[in-house]
Structure 1
Amino acid sequence: MLTILGFSMIAVFMYLIMSKRLSALVAIMLVPIIFGVIGGFLTELGPMMQDGVEGIASTAIMILFAILYFGIMIDSGLFDPLISKILKIVKGDPLKIVLGTSILSMTVALDGDGTTTYIITVSALLPLYKRLGMNKLILATVAMLSMGVMNMTPWGGASAMAMASLNLDASELFLPMIPVMGFGLIWVLIAAFILGKMERKRLGVIEIEHNHTKANSEIAATTVSRDYRRPKLVWFNFILTVVLMASLIIDFMSLTILFMVAFAIALVVNYPDLKDQQDRIAVHSKNALAVVSIVIAAGIFTGIMSGTKMIDAMAITLVSLIPEPLGPFLPVIVAYASAPFTFFMSNNAFYFGVLPIIAQAADAYGISAAEIGRASLIGQPIHVLSPLVAAAHLLIGLVGTDFRDIQRFAIKWALGTVTVMTIAAIIIGVI
């Protein structure tokens, strides 16, 4: 009975959000409550939901302050020197321009927001691509490849959902994935080098005027109002960010506390005026709310799934269907399966609807939920190509192409990223 109830709940949840009859935020709260009542758990739902929300509260707070922190860094102009330097170095060499695209998009994607990454990268470099007659699909592809790897950060969305659905913290799920992401970024650079070589061979190196490069720098600088830029504090912001990243890796303190403290320091130093502080928080609250609200709401979903034992019953059924020889290879299967899963369905549907069942099933083979969670992130480079991703529509509009062309052009490079990270994860022992 619990198995049927659980799978029915997942099916209804996925149908409602994929058919856009309900928002993910509403569905993830109401659907499990309704099925909990149907299952006869009405009087027990309150404590179940409370336990679920309390279990992911720390993760939600960390994501909130991470988004706010990186928003402040972008507003203050932390990345402006990098943009200017890249534009100065690349000049009229297509190879350097594509490599510059990868470095810039990787760096800006640190904030985990595809919208910001695409706006800054395209604003800075599209004029150069047009001036030299370069293939704009390369610009879009390289930006998407970078975002596909950097989207695995805890504040990027996918990791946050995986942590919430499996009740894990960042030290269990994300920190072991940092070397794997490193290999993914190396592959992005290799892909950019290959694509750049092809463009250099097609077009050659073209001399462009210095004032054109200067104009590009000005275009990049206008992505945020100049009133909020703090060029004199670039070194302070850079050092603060390096210290923060190092602290995350060392793991001597909770990620939640680290981001809260770093945000407070960044906000006060860059914007001592109270009105400016309020403005910056208000601007970035929209992005933060979209991610954090779904993570908190997921506490109700996971709390009811666990409290009613639906997840256990579903896992037992799933284990019985998996051929015995394939059991120990579940992490590798999940790493590749997460690519089409998150392409054809939203991250919400996959991480809250499918992943917990797989993780529970894997437990029968001695595979931890953390291992399955890490494997589930590896398909993100394919996910960012999905028409279900709002930021992808923005990128396509900025570049001036369509989904069919970008998907056909980028899919093999994105699949290469998934393969490289899967192999790296196996060698390192992350999965």
Structure 2
Amino acid sequence: MLSLLGFGMIATFLFLVISKRLSVVVAFIFVAILFGIIGGFSADMGDMMMKGILKVAPTAIMIVFAILYFGLMIDVGLFDPMISRILNIVKGDPLKVVMATAVITMLVGLDGDGSSTFLITVSALLPLYTKLGMNRLILACVISLSAGVMNMIPWGGPLVRAAASLQLEVSDLFNPLIPAMAAGLMWTLFSAYLLGKREKARLGTIHLKGSSMAFAEQLSVHETPGKPPRLFWFNALLTLCLMTILVVDILPIPILFAIAFAIALFVNFPHPKEQQERILSHANSFVMVSTLVFAAGIFTGVFTETKMMDAMANTIVSLTPEWLGSHLPLVVAITSLPLSFVFSPDAYYFGILPVISHTAANFGVDPVEIGRAALLGHSTTGFPLSPLVPATFILIGLVEVDFGEHQKFLFKWAFGTTIVMTITAILTNAISL
């Protein structure tokens, strides 16, 4: 009975989200309440929901302060000098332009927002591609590859969803994946080199009149009037320290970002009114995501505390061949990118992943490995390909390429990223073979 109720709960959630009958936040709460009542758990439902919310609270806190921190760093122009220098170096060399595209996207992608990453990088680089007569599909491809891997950062949507749905610590998911992410970035640079070399062979080096710096100036869209240039090195050092401590795992990630943001905000904007303005300017970015995480906590609280998930996992285990059970992390990793075409991020991470992870636990596989495996493709390398992710259409709209052509051009390179990261994850024991 509980197993059927659990499958019904997941199916209803997936139907409402995929068919766009309800927003994800509303679907989480309504479906949790409905199936809690149907299962006869109405008396205990409040406690179940609160347990779920408390488990995801650290993740929500981390999201808020991480988005605020990197939003502030972009506001004060931390990355502008580096990006401007890169664009000034490339001149009219198509190979350097494509390599610069990858590096710039990686830098801009630190804010964890795919849409803003596409907006900033395309706005800065499209005029240069147009003037040189370069293939726009390459621009879309390289930006997608870089943004896809950067979407694995702890404050990015996929990892946040995985941590919330599996009720795991963000550091447990992310830290073991750092070598895989590094391998993914190296693959991206290698792919950009091959694409750039091909484009240079087609066009040759083109001598531009004047400097490429004019194009770099378009990146200053986030620049705050009157920002103090003297604080550049302070902000750079603070960010470097933040990244180092994050990897070393001395402090919990939410606390680390909260402290770093407070320091950065106070030093860069000492007046309370300015501080309030900076926070409000990024409110839209973190309110939606943190609300989603808390709603997911309500849903998973009911789903797990009622033992529906246990019952579903037992049913799936009885139907899964013994030889396949121990290889579930590899199966999830390889299928994660293709499933981006079928399931939206919310449907996959909150509907599919918890059941798979619970099933894997019955075969002796740590659920955290299933979460890591999913992050190697779904909504990371796969999100710029998916018709279910709105940011994808922002990209192809800005670059002005056909969606089908974009998918066809990008898929092999993106899937290559997943394969490279999966191999690295296996070699570093982030996931088991």
Instruction: State whether TM-score is above 0.5.
Output: yes
Q: Identify the residue that residue 277 of structure 1 maps to in structure 2.
A: 275
Residues 228 and 137 (structure 1), Cα distance of their counterparts in 2 relative to 1, 3 Å cut: farther
Amino acid at match of 1:307: E
d(CA) in 2 for partners of 1:390, 1:271: 34
- Letter of the 1:159 partner, please give it: L
Query: CA separation in 1, counterparts of 2:410 and 2:5?
Result: 40
Secondary structure of 2:326's match? helix
**Distance change in 2, residues 1:228/1:75 (3 Å):** farther
Alignment of 1:63-74 (within 5 A): 63-74=63-74
Matched letter for residue 317 of structure 1: T
Superposed displacement of residue 277, structure 1:
1.6
In the alignment, the residues of structure 2 paired with residue 228 and residue 306 of structure 1 have an alpha-carbon distance, to the nearest angstrom, of 51
For 2:130 and 2:26, the matched residues in 1 are separated by 43
Q: CA deviation at 1:375?
A: 0.5
After TM superposition, give the deviation of residue 272 of structure 1 in Å.
1.6
- CA offsets per residue over residues 90-135 of structure 1, 9 Å max, x none? 1000000000000010111111111221122112211110010001
Post-superposition Cα deviations, 1:78-100, rounded to whole Å, max 9, x if no partner, equal 11011111111110000000000
Residue pairs, 1:254-333, within 5 angstroms: 254-333=252-331
SS of 1:305 mapped into structure 2: helix
Alignment of 1:391-406 (within 5 A): 391-406=391-406
> 1:362: which partner in 2?
360
Tell me the amino acid that sits aligned with residue 262 of structure 1. Answer: A
Question: What are the within-5 Å matches in structure 2 for residues 232-243 of structure 1?
Answer: 232-243=230-241
Give the alignment partner of residue 374 of structure 1, picking from 365, 369, 372.
Answer: 372
Q: Which residue of 2 aligns with 1:42?
A: 42
- 1:335 corresponds in structure 2 to 333
| Deviations, residues 11-60 of structure 1 (Å, cap 9, x unaligned) | 11011011111000110111011011001111010110010000110111
Q: CA deviation at 1:226?
A: 4.1
Q: Distance in 2 between matches of 1:102 and 1:218?
A: 18
Shift of the alpha carbon at 1:146?
Answer: 0.9
Q: Which moved more, 1:178-187 or 1:108-117?
A: 108-117
The AA in structure 1 aligned to 2:270 is P
- The CA distance in 2 between the partners of 1:336 and 1:11, in whole Å, is 24
CA apart distance, 1:219 = 1.5
Can you give the 5+ residue segments of structure 2 that lack an aligned partner in the other structure?
none
1:351 maps onto 2:353 in alignment: no
Structure 1 position 390, deviation (Å): 1.8
1:232 & 1:303 partners in 2: Cα distance? Answer: 48
Contact 2:74 2:223 in 1 (8 A): no
Residue 213 (structure 2) pairs with residue 214 (structure 1): yes
Query: Is 1:251 matched up with 2:249?
Result: yes
Over residues 368-415 of structure 1, what are the superposed CA-to-partner deviations in whole Å (9 max), with x where a residue is unaligned?
111111001011201331122122211112111131121111011100
Whether the 8 Å CA contact 1:75–1:228 is kept in 2: the answer is no
C-alpha contact (below 8 Å) 1:77/1:230 kept by paired residues:
no
Q: Does 1:56 align with 2:43?
A: no
Q: Secondary structure at the match of 1:381?
A: coil
- Matches of 2:181 and 2:223 in 1, distance apart? 32
CA distance in 1, matches of 2:368, 2:204: 48
Asked whether the 8 Å contact 2:77–2:223 carries over to 1, the reply is: no
Give the C-alpha shift of residue 275 in structure 1.
2.4
* Distance in 2 between residues matched to 1:402 and 1:281, nearest whole Å: 37
**Aligned equivalent of 1:97:** 97
Instruction: Quote how far apart the aligned CAs of 1:233 are.
Output: 1.6
SS of 1:41's partner is coil
Matches within 5 A, 1:381-392: 381-392=381-392
Please give the alpha-carbon distance, in whole angstroms, between the structure 2 residues aligned to 1:343 and 1:263.
36
Distance 1:10 1:383 in 2: 22
Shift, 1:229, TM fit: 4.0
In structure 2, give the amino acid aligned to 1:231. P
Shift of the 128–12 alpha-carbon distance from structure 1 to 2, 3 Å rule, reads same
Q: What is the identity, as a one-letter code, of the residue corresponding to 2:207?
A: E
What letter corresponds to residue 403 of structure 1 in structure 2? Answer: F
Give the equivalent residue in structure 1 for 2:177.
177
Query: Which residue of structure 2 aligns with residue 123 of structure 1?
Result: 123
CA distance in 2, matches of 1:298, 1:419: 30
What is aligned with 1:409?
A: 409
Alignment partner, residue 163 of structure 2: 163
Output the amino acid matched with 2:308: M
**Alpha-carbon displacement from aligned partner over 1:334-380 (angstroms, at most 9, x marks no partner):** 11222122332111111111111011100111111111110010112
Q: SS of the counterpart of 1:64?
A: helix
CA distance in 2, matches of 1:143, 1:228: 31
| Aligned equivalents of 2:132, 2:101: Cα separation in 1 | 15
Q: Which residue of structure 2 aligns with residue 5 of structure 1?
A: 5
- Mean Cα displacement is larger for which, 140-149 or 384-393? 384-393
Following superposition, the deviation at residue 217 of structure 1 comes to: 2.0
User: 1:334–1:375: 8 Å Cα contact kept in structure 2?
Assistant: yes
* Cα distance in 2, alignment partners of residues 346 and 142 from structure 1: 22
Partner of 1:136: 136
Question: For the Cα contact (< 8 Å) 1:385–1:407, is it kept in 2?
Answer: yes
Separation of aligned partners in 2, 1:224 and 1:383: 25
Alpha-carbon offset, residue 210 of structure 1: 2.2
Determine if contact 1:99/1:189 at 8 Å carries over to the other structure.
yes
- Which deviations, in whole Å up to 9, do the C-alpha atoms of 1:127-154 show, x marking residues without a partner? 1100100011111111111111111112
| Aligned 8 A contact 2:148 2:381 in 1 | yes
Question: Which residue of structure 1 aligns with residue 25 of structure 2?
Answer: 25
Post-superposition shift, 1:273? 2.5
Give the 3-state SS of the residue equivalent to 1:227 in structure 2. Answer: coil
